[in-house]
Amino acid sequence: MSQLEIRDGQYYLQGEPYRIVSGAIHYFRVVPEYWMDRLQKLQACGFNTVETYVAWNVHEPQEGQFQFEGMADIVQFIELAGQMGLHVIIRPSPFICAEWEFGGLPAWLLKESDMQLRCSDSAYLAKVDRYYDVLIPKLVPLLSTQGGPILAVQVENEYGSYGNDTSYLTYIRDGLVQRGIDVLLFTSDGPTDEMLLGGTIDDVHATVNFGSRVAESFGKYREYRETEPLMVMEFWNGWFDHWMEPHHVRDAAEVADELDKILESSSSVNLYMFHGGTNFGFYNGANHIKTYEPTVTSYDYDAPLSEWGDVTSKYEAVRSVFAKHGIEPGCEMPQPIPKYPYGKVTLSESATLLDNLDQLSEPVKSTFIQPMEKFDQAYGFILYSTWVKGPRSGQKLHIQEVRDRAQVFLDGKLLGVVERWDPKPLDISIPENGARLDILVENMGRINYGPRLRDPKGITEGVLLDNQFLYNWTIRTLPLCPDSLTSVRYETTKDHDLRVETPAFYKGCFEVEEIGDTFLRFDGWNKGVAWINGFNLGRYWEIGPQRALYIPGPLLRKGRNEIVLFELHGFLTEPVITLSDQPDLGESAAVDDRVLNFVQDEQTP
Ranking 329-333, 450-454, 491-495, 559-563 by mean pLDDT, the lowest is 491-495
Establish if 190 belongs to a structural domain. Answer: yes
Establish if 523 belongs to a structural domain. Answer: yes
Q: Which residues contact 337 (CB under 8 A, 6 or more apart)?
A: 34, 37, 308, 309, 516, 517, 553
Radius of gyration of the chain (CA): 25
Summarize the confidence of residues 562-588 as an average pLDDT: 92
Percent share of the chain, pLDDT over 70? 97
- State residue 495's pLDDT score: 60
β-strands 205-210, 184-189: how paired?
A: parallel
Same domain for 439 and 364? Answer: yes
Same domain for 96 and 225? Answer: yes
Q: Which residues contact 30 (CB under 8 A, 6 or more apart)?
A: 38, 71, 275, 277, 278
Q: Evaluate the CA torsion angle 483, 487, 490, 496 in order and state its sign.
A: negative
Q: Are 236 and 210 in contact (CB under 8 A)?
A: yes
Last residue within a domain, chosen from 478, 510, 536: 478
- Give per-residue pLDDT as tens, 41-59: 999 999 999 999 999 999 9
CA distance 117 to 30: 28
Ranking 272-276, 416-420, 499-503 by mean pLDDT, the lowest is 499-503
Confidence of residue 571 (pLDDT cuts 50, 70, 90): confident
Of 440, 437, 436, 578, nearest to 504 (Cα)? 440
Last residue within a domain, chosen from 478, 506, 524: 478
- Give per-residue pLDDT as tens, 58-113: 999 999 999 999 999 999 999 999 999 999 999 998 999 999 999 999 999 999 98
Summarize the confidence of residues 468-486 as an average pLDDT: 96
Coil, helix or strand at residue 98: coil
Establish if 88 belongs to a structural domain. Answer: yes
Same domain for 364 and 461? Answer: yes
Give the residue numbers marked as catalytic.
Answer: 158, 234
CA distance 324 to 263: 10
β-strands 405-410, 231-236: how paired?
A: unpaired
β-strands 559-567, 527-532: how paired?
A: antiparallel
- Indicate which CATH number applies to the domain containing 533: 2.60.120.260
- Give per-residue pLDDT as tens, 489-534: 999 987 654 445 789 999 999 999 999 999 999 999 999 999 999 9
CA distance 328 to 544: 39
Same domain for 464 and 540? Answer: no
Asked if residue 323 has pLDDT above 60, the reply is yes
Of 264, 272, 266, nearest to 231 (Cα)? 266
Of 584, 508, 501, nearest to 550 (Cα)? 584
- State residue 599's pLDDT score: 42
Summarize the confidence of residues 310-321 as an average pLDDT: 98
Summarize the confidence of residues 552-572 as an average pLDDT: 96
Establish if 503 belongs to a structural domain. Answer: yes
Same domain for 175 and 63? Answer: yes
Establish if 498 belongs to a structural domain. Answer: yes
- State residue 597's pLDDT score: 65
Same domain for 187 and 57? Answer: yes
Structural domain including 404 reads 354-478
Same domain for 157 and 227? Answer: yes
- State residue 332's pLDDT score: 93
Establish if 3 belongs to a structural domain. Answer: no
- The better pLDDT of the pair 597, 428 is held by 428
Establish if 483 belongs to a structural domain. Answer: no
Phi and psi dihedrals of 510, rounded to 5?
Answer: -150, 160
Let me know if 280 is exposed, middle or buried by CB neighbors in 10 A (0-12, 13-18, 19+).
buried
- DSSP E strand stretches across 479-517: 491-492, 504-512
Q: 174 preceded by cis ω (within 30°)?
A: no
Summarize the confidence of residues 229-243 as an average pLDDT: 97
- State residue 191's pLDDT score: 96
Summarize the confidence of residues 418-434 as an average pLDDT: 96
Asked if residue 251 has pLDDT above 50, the reply is yes
Asked if residue 181 has pLDDT above 90, the reply is yes
Q: Which residues contact 258 (CB under 8 A, 6 or more apart)?
A: 211, 212, 214, 235
Angle of helix 214-222 versus helix 252-264 axis, rounded to 10: 40
Same domain for 400 and 535? Answer: no
Same domain for 450 and 528? Answer: no
Last residue within a domain, chosen from 449, 478, 507: 478
- Give per-residue pLDDT as tens, 16-50: 999 999 999 999 999 999 999 999 999 999 999 99
Confidence of residue 587 (pLDDT cuts 50, 70, 90): confident
Same domain for 300 and 417? Answer: no
- Give per-residue pLDDT as tens, 113-153: 899 999 999 999 999 999 999 999 999 999 999 999 999 99
- Indicate which CATH number applies to the domain containing 125: 3.20.20.80
- Give per-residue pLDDT as tens, 199-223: 999 999 999 999 999 999 999 999 9
Summarize the confidence of residues 422-442 as an average pLDDT: 97
- State residue 600's pLDDT score: 40
User: How many domains does the chain divide into?
Assistant: 3
Ranking 173-187, 250-264, 561-575 by mean pLDDT, the lowest is 561-575
Ranking 137-151, 357-371, 421-435, 589-603 by mean pLDDT, the lowest is 589-603
- 3-state DSSP percent of the chain in helix, strand and coil, to 5: 25, 35, 40
Same domain for 421 and 376? Answer: yes
Same domain for 289 and 321? Answer: yes
Question: What is the C-alpha end-to-end distance of the chain, expressed in Å?
Answer: 47
Average pLDDT of the chain to the nearest whole number = 95
Got the DSSP string for 434-475?
Answer: -EEEEEEEE----B-SSTT-----EEEEEEEETTEE---EEE
CA distance 346 to 588: 30
Establish if 5 belongs to a structural domain. Answer: no
Asked if residue 562 has pLDDT above 50, the reply is yes
